[in-house]
Amino acid sequence: MLSPLLFFALLFFYAAQGLQFNHIEEDTEFVNADSKYGSLWPLPQKVNFSSVSFKLSGSTFRIVDAKESSAGASCAVLQNAYRRYFDYIFDGAKKQWAGKRTRSGASELGELQVWITSPDSECDAYPSVSTDESYELIVDQPVAVLKAPKVWGALHGLETFSQLVYKDEFGSRNINATTISDFPRFAHRGILLDTSRHFLPIKVILANLETMAMNKINVFHWHIVDDPSFPYLSKTFPQLSQKGAYHPYTHVYTPADVKMIIEFARLRGIRVIPEFDTPGHTLSWGGGQPDLLTPCYSGSSPSGTFGPVNPILNTTYDFMTQFFKEISSVFPDAYVHLGGDEVDFTCWKSNPDIQAFMKQQGFGDDFTKLESFYIQRLLDIVGQTNKGYMIWQEVFDNGVKLKPDTIIHVWKGNQQQYQNEMAQITSAGYHTLLSTPWYLNYISYGQDWHNHYKADPQDFQGTDKQKELVIGGEACLWGEYIDATNLTPRLWPRASAVAERLWSAKDVKDLNDAYSRLSLHRCRMVERGIPAEPLFTGFCPHEYKGI
């Protein structure tokens, strides 16, 4: 039997161990205080709360079009969103609430009226980089009013409204009188998903689009193909996925799948920007398109392996012309991402035909000139489809001539290097987008969201005019170690930190306040069925039920 003394000594020992453990954890600095902003995420630009509260009853509450609204009952974007948010607010089935009246005397909020104020609601359009996403929300008696110039702002306002609803100790829904005026700090708030390194089933993509909307993320950057696989089923070149996908029938995105994803995203105010990265990262293109890739040589004979796209053949450009003609009609967004990163010159160097071409063009030994030669022609081809393009920073670094509306995507280097890069790009007058600090595929023990949260795309040496050329950023989730089993918890709520940085005002950076709101926001995502991982020790009122 343990003597009492030993017992206490052991207890003390373990307690001390615990303390010590806590000390190596950075998280002890966190005061577990509630934010005065409740669970709002990302934090709106202006919020005024009052302590007057109203009840919401699932049997009577309605989300309706305001009489003055320019969007009618046929507006699918809004009608769909009304249903979604009603279900989120009342946890699904309406009948569950029928007859369950609130206690008498409590004043009730009966209606949320949604009023699209500009003559063109954009209900049937696609969101774009210049979309007006602003809204105003006034929660008061007798009705709450959500005003937005366009449907896109109304979608954000509905999400915010749903975030204001809380359950009281009796489990009934309440909302306080509140005034919110809101708009995003940056127009481009994206997430990159990679469907080449692992195929992602449609269901996972849709669940993450849904979660993006909960975080006011408005761009799905679809890194659809790369070296390992080519899951995009092209109508013009079906051999590409036939030979390049992991499986030609089960691991492809058919034209119908792509269409469905684009519409699902549109209904949530999200743009879909596809990336077809060339001339590197293209091994999977080779099987279905003979002669597209450069044959590598070992000594004087072909080694049987292939390198980047072959830039010296006219057939390459004929192919690209037809391929991007299809892409520009399949994807409605005004931009396509053309990649252009990490071109490995080893194979080009080994190939005697390429060497001869280099000589003929007077490129010397400078293979970046050959890369630029290719990219230049590609940009001209894509430019003729009336699309704008985004490209990774190397294309700018190599001095390729770019259309003035090109968006340059920064992904390399340490903080000082990416800040210099942002300064250089903007002083050359180009729009830019930051991803370097937001590679969410890198994981580490502890609360790595702090660093994602602290990074700011406008923190670099430059004039105000330069800062205005920063259109936002993207969180990237590269897929080497990610498939449907772990994608969602790895992305959320870590991407939520990026979402707030890109939406909320620049001075919103209190980590304690953010921790409190983000914990609640994470639990809300969990309650909505999204397996978002925890930030730290704690619990959710409705835990994830598992598989």
Ligand X SMILES: *[C@@H]1O[C@H](CO)[C@@H](O)[C@H](O)[C@H]1NC(C)=O
CB-wise, 318 or 543, nearer to ligand X? Answer: 318
Residue 213 CB neighbours (<10 A)? 22
Rounded to a whole number of angstroms, the distance between the first and last alpha carbons of the chain is 44
Find, among 402, 388, 340, 408, the residue nearest to 368 by Cα.
340
As measured in angstroms, the least distance from the Cβ of 176 to ligand X is 4
Q: Which stretch binds ligand X (CB under 6 A): 49-57, 279-287, 437-445, 519-527?
A: 49-57
Q: How far is the CB of 168 from ligand X (least distance, A)?
A: 9
Interacting residues of 460 by C-beta distance below 8 A, sequence separation 6+: 419, 420, 422, 423
Of residues 277 through 316, those in contact with ligand X by CB under 6 A are 314
Please name which of 526, 503, 527, 451 lies closest in space to residue 217, comparing C-alpha atoms.
503
Which is closer to ligand X, CB of 163 or CB of 284? 163
H-helix or E-strand spanning residue 465? helix 464-468
Nearer to ligand X, 32 or 96 (CB): 32
Minimum CB distance to ligand X smaller for 37 or for 323: 37
d(CA 515, CA 449): 10
376 binds ligand X (CB under 6 A): no
Measured between alpha carbons, how far is 376 from 518 in angstroms, rounded to an integer? 44
Convert residues 310-349 into a mask of x (bound to ligand X by CB under 6 A) and - (unbound): ----x-----------------------------------
Min CB(315)–ligand X separation in Å: 9
Q: Of residues 342, 394, 468, 527, which has the active-site annotation? A: 342
Site map (CB under 6 A) of ligand X, residues 157-196, x = contact: -------------------x--x-x---------------
Q: How far is the CB of 311 from ligand X (least distance, A)?
A: 12
Residues 15-44 close enough to bind ligand X by CB under 6 A: 38
Adjacent-strand bridge partners of 173: 56, 167
* CA 179 to centroid of chain Cα atoms: 28
Q: Omega before 279 cis (within 30°)?
A: yes
> Is 474 an active-site residue?
no
**Between 216 and 266, whose beta carbon lies closer to ligand X?**
216
| DSSP state letter for 412 | -
β 219-223/271-275 pair status: parallel
CA atoms within 13 A on the CB side of 156: 32
Give the chain's length: 547
CB of 392 to ligand X, least distance (A): 28
Q: Binding to ligand X by residue 360, rule CB under 6 A?
A: no
Binding of residue 51 to ligand X (CB under 6 A): yes
Q: Which stretch binds ligand X (CB under 6 A): 3-11, 45-53, 102-110, 528-536?
A: 45-53
Amino acid letter at 143? V
Q: Which is nearer to ligand X, 233 or 320 (CB)?
A: 320
386 binds ligand X (CB under 6 A): no
* 277 within 8 A of 225, measured Cβ to Cβ: yes
Can residue 48 be called a binding residue for ligand X (CB under 6 A)?
yes
- x/- letters, 106..145, toward ligand X (CB under 6 A): ----------------------------------------
3-state secondary structure of 138: strand
Q: How many residues bind ligand X (CB under 6 A)?
A: 10
Task: For tokens 């092209």, name the residue.
Answer: 234
| Chosen residue from 13, 33, 46, 344 binding ligand X by CB under 6 A | 46
**How far apart are CB 179 and ligand X at their closest, in Å?**
3
Return the number of the residue (9 or 52) whose C-beta is nearest ligand X: 52
- Give the CA count within 13 Å in the CB-facing half-sphere of 8: 2
**538: CB partners within 8 A, 6+ apart:** 519
Tokens of 310: 């072959």
Q: Which residues bind ligand X (CB under 6 A)?
A: 38, 46, 48-49, 51, 53, 176, 179, 181, 314
Residues labelled catalytic: 342
